[in-house]
Amino acid sequence: MLDGLLLGFQVALSLDNLLYCLIGVTLGTFIGMLPGVGPLVTIAVLLPMTYGLTPVASMIMLAGIYYGASYGGSSTAILVNLPGESSSVVTCIDGYQMARRGRAGAALAIAAIGSFIAGCIGTFSIALFAPMLGSAALAFGPAEYASLITMALVATSVLVQGAVVKGLLMALLGILIGLVGMDVNSGAMRFTFGQQSLMEGIDFVVVAVGMFAFSEIIRELSLSHRAVEGNVKVDSLMPTRTELQQSVKPILRGTAIGMFCGVLPGIGATVSSFASYVLEKRCAKDPSRFGHGAIEGVAGPESANNASAQTSFIPTLTLGVPGSATMALMLGALMIHGITPGPNVISERPELFWGLVASMWIGNVLLVILNLPLIRLWITLLKVPYSWLFPMILILSCFGIYTLSNDPMDVLIGAGFGVFGYIVLQLEFSLAPFILGLVLGPMLEENIRRALLISHGDPMVFLESPISAGFLGAAVLLMALLLMPAIRRAKPHLEQEA
């Protein structure tokens, strides 16, 4: 592990990669603060531009956007009671109350310190556990993989907002869209409608931009936007000694919750921040302080969401199975570069894995430096209205899609996915299972095919291996649990993971 980390820092500290890390975290902080523009939209829009970068540089930048956004989201939550990201919703409760009592600086500092500590522990745990998980996964055969993918799809589908059936339907549709084009095994054309441009399949970027950028713009334009009040005062950034003491345990507990939630499919930053808030309230000697500016209510959730942002990379990088929509986009970015994510990545592309891990630690340092002293600058940027942003997002998205293969047809297909995405969002379907299905669908088919080939067509192969049976059992159990009325009623609290 030490050799790996050394290699990682060599890669991450090269001037180019350092620059992309800085760009990523700066952009992440910015969009994290802006309501209406999240990491998903940003990563989708930037995907086509990463073609020109090395795989390491593009992963470093995109990852920076993702965890940078969780830092930025907390600042707006505390200062103006507007969560820039869904993972900062819970920070509004006590963070804004602290700001109203004149402790905005302390709240920001604790959020940043908590995030930083969580980020460090999270990064360290990736370095520690990912290679272990990776080598365990090397023993996985096609049957185990098919079951693992099925479990990831089911878990994401049933845990997102809305009915279980709706999540599953979106996952199935994603799988179908992923099958469009020529079947690699038989050469048969599937779902191409005789169209030339569909023969090579629908580019992942086209679908991602259409579903996440276009549909989101349509949706945002139909909502009325709250103007941001400008009179925010940030006094001293130094927390008092008592505030620091009160925060130590919540930060550590939040980190633990976040790390655990991050590796599970379907549960991510948002859920972990809620879980941490509930836990802190329960642990507190005087729970009535919560809601009136309790610093524990900032320290815990902010640590939790950053820890889970870090550890969610573990299954993505080691198993090639993403647990959330953002991670699915990351995986797509890797595939653009011809890298098949899976347990072999760590051994075959050590510079990629360790470079990313080291850059995440560097990124966390950069974020603390960027956020605290520059907070006043960030607040002025907050006033950029959506009227200025969305035309730029549209332009970059259109060019991004068009430049994939200089085919205007791709732009039209993207527009189609924008309309479809908007309609299903209005029907209260979630997009996360769809994008997961899109990425994992072809892998699922291939692994089922191989597993059945090895077993001479006997479907029992998925149940005979204990690991495979375990995954399938977990999927069935999750579905059964979520269909129970008591839990179904409690589910609205599990906000959709961005």
| Interacting residue ranges for another protein, rule: CB under 8 A | 49, 52, 163, 165-166, 168-169, 172-173, 175-176, 179, 183, 185-186, 188, 190-191, 214, 217-219, 221-222, 224-225, 385-388, 390-392, 394-396, 398-399, 402-403, 408-409, 411-412, 414-415, 418-419, 422-424, 426-429, 441, 444-445, 448-449, 452-453, 456-459
Q: Is the dihedral of CA 184, 185, 191, 197 positive or negative?
A: positive
Task: For residue 451, report the phi and psi dihedrals to the nearest 5 degrees.
Answer: -60, -45
d(CA 59, CA 372): 25
Helices (H), ranges, 34-54:
39-46
CB of 209 to another protein, least distance (A): 10
DSSP 138: T
DSSP 391: H
| End-to-end Cα separation, the chain, in angstroms | 31
CB of 138 or CB of 454, closer to another protein: 454
CB of 13 or CB of 182, closer to another protein: 182
CB of 410 to another protein, least distance (A): 8
DSSP 427: T
CB of 148 to another protein, least distance (A): 17
CB of 318 or CB of 397, closer to another protein: 397
CB of 13 or CB of 172, closer to another protein: 172
CB of 353 or CB of 422, closer to another protein: 422
CB of 190 or CB of 289, closer to another protein: 190
CB of 138 to another protein, least distance (A): 25
CB of 50 or CB of 247, closer to another protein: 50
CB of 480 to another protein, least distance (A): 16
Six-digit token pair at 2?
A: 């030490």
d(CA 471, CA 131): 21
CB of 345 to another protein, least distance (A): 26
Which helix or strand (DSSP H or E) is residue 249 part of?
helix 241-263
Q: Is 265 left (phi over 0), alpha (psi -120 to 50) or beta?
A: beta
CB of 229 to another protein, least distance (A): 17
Residues 170-204 as b or e (16 or more Cβ within 10 Å = b): bbbbbbebbebbeeeeeeeeeebeeeebbeebbbb
Six-digit token pair at 466?
A: 């204990």
CB of 8 or CB of 421, closer to another protein: 421
Q: Is 190 in a helix, a strand, or coil?
A: strand
d(CA 383, CA 377): 11
Beta bridge partners of 189: 182
CB of 110 to another protein, least distance (A): 35
CB of 187 or CB of 338, closer to another protein: 187
CA-closest candidate to residue 465, choices 477, 447, 451: 451
CB of 225 or CB of 383, closer to another protein: 225
Question: What torsion, rounded to 10 degrees, do the Cα atoms 52, 40, 176, 199 define?
Answer: -20
d(CA 54, CA 66): 19
CB of 149 to another protein, least distance (A): 13
CB of 7 to another protein, least distance (A): 29
Residues 231-255 as b or e (16 or more Cβ within 10 Å = b): ebebeebebeeebbebbeebbbbbb
